[in-house]
Amino acid sequence: MKRLLTLTIAVPFLIQIAKADTNVQLRMDGHSGELSILLKGKHDTASATVSKPASYSIYRNNIYKKRLDSIQKDVPLDYNEFVQEQIETYLTTGREDISREIGLSKYYFPIYEKAFRDAGIPDEIKYLSLVESQLNPNAVSRMGAAGPWQFMSTVARLYGLRMDNYVDERRDPVQSSIAAAAYLKDAYNQFGDWLLAIASYNCGKSEVLDAIDKAGGQMDFWAIRQYLPAQTRDYVPSYIAVTYVMNYYRKHHILPQECSLPVKTDTVMVNKFVSLNSVSRVLGVSLSQLSVLNPAYTQAIINGSPDAPKVLVIPQYAKDKYTAMYDKLNTDLGYADPHSFDFTSRGDYQTVEKRIPLHHKKRKFESMAALRRAAATTKG
């Protein structure tokens, strides 16, 4: 009859035993993720169990930590079993998504970096947008959060984003990045910790404060993790994991897709109503590309006016064609006013005015979680 003995043995020691003794067998349970060592004797077998994720590997354990340590800047890139689980998920089921996002990042990351630099927050938080939307400006959550930074409408308005029948600036990569930077800066000023600020971006500041209280006042994400909503418990590990993968994708043989958007763009200030379809026809640029470059125009109509001209983003033109392009827009679209289109080359579209302060004054319904609940109630 077999006896079960519970032993406390380090995994490396177990592996050494297995190598040295042909009567020793290591077994991994694919369902429970438990690593067992079987000591096979003449009459009995001893089993020592060490609980680890099924994907646990001493090599990966060490290399992930070393690599995360080497790229850490202002935001702590802690390594533990929760982070490893998320890394393994990206490297197995998320490879195609990562490949596409690496390509898209060539267009979106310079925009994020400019907004974050102006707000004084760490550059590496740009990777959070991959967790939020996979760099999709048209992403919409089940709760109604929209855009690359997934703002609910009420929070978006608190942080200066405009929404009307024609425009939803939550989808604008420039304006939404400025708003996201402002929110994160507010959260960091409140908590004094970037991982807590990132957690609050998912669940709201009030949820983080409640978790801190339950954890006895500890201002540390890993200390309060168990008290946070289930989604937020994995949100921060996902951020660390995607930061790892975006820096080390080559080590894991992930090939970037080509960027489907022009890396260099120009902007045109429009002070009339004009459809993207008309611009597409006049400039010979595909409507689909114009729509992706200008995702904030929900009706595919630029609702410009003399008092409030609107930005049109187009692929960059050669400098010697600026005048011809300007004339073509004004003439072929049928506007007599020579100033209907005011062409200005702005390269990466990063000089749009900021309409909000970096430090937002607290108001009622500060919590994103509360705002999401309120939005859900209103919809119902």
Per-residue pLDDT of 185-205, as tens digits, reads 999 999 999 999 999 999 999
Question: What is the CATH classification number for the domain harbouring 82?
Answer: 1.10.530.10
Q: Are residues 108 and 187 in the same domain?
A: yes
Predicted TM-score (pTM) of the model is 0.75
Q: Are residues 231 and 159 in the same domain?
A: yes
Instruction: Give 120 or 348, the one with higher predicted confidence.
Output: 120
CB 206 within 8 A of CB 369: yes
Q: Which two tokens stand for residue 354?
A: 């900021």
Asked if residue 367 belongs to a domain, the reply is no
Asked if residue 374 belongs to a domain, the reply is no
pLDDT-derived band of residue 60, with 50, 70 and 90 as boundaries?
low
CA distance 375 to 380: 9
Asked if residue 310 belongs to a domain, the reply is yes
CA distance 356 to 158: 9
Kindly give the interhelix angle for 58-71 and 81-92, rounded to the nearest 10 degrees. 100
pLDDT of residue 58: 59
Q: Is pLDDT of 14 > 70?
A: no
Q: Can you give the length of the chain in residues?
A: 380
Q: Which residues contact 237 (CB under 8 A, 6 or more apart)?
A: 80, 82, 83, 85, 86
Instruction: Give 62 or 177, the one with higher predicted confidence.
Output: 177
Q: How far is CA 8 from CA 51, 61, 84, in A?
A: 11, 20, 23
CA distance 97 to 246: 11
Instruction: Give the chain's domain count.
Output: 3
User: Residue 104 CA to chain centroid, in angstroms?
Assistant: 12
| Residue numbers of the domain that contains 323 | 265-344
Q: Are residues 190 and 84 in the same domain?
A: yes
Q: Are residues 178 and 240 in the same domain?
A: yes
Q: Are residues 321 and 272 in the same domain?
A: yes
Q: Are residues 140 and 162 in the same domain?
A: yes
CA distance 171 to 140: 10
Q: Are residues 93 and 226 in the same domain?
A: yes
Q: Are residues 77 and 226 in the same domain?
A: yes
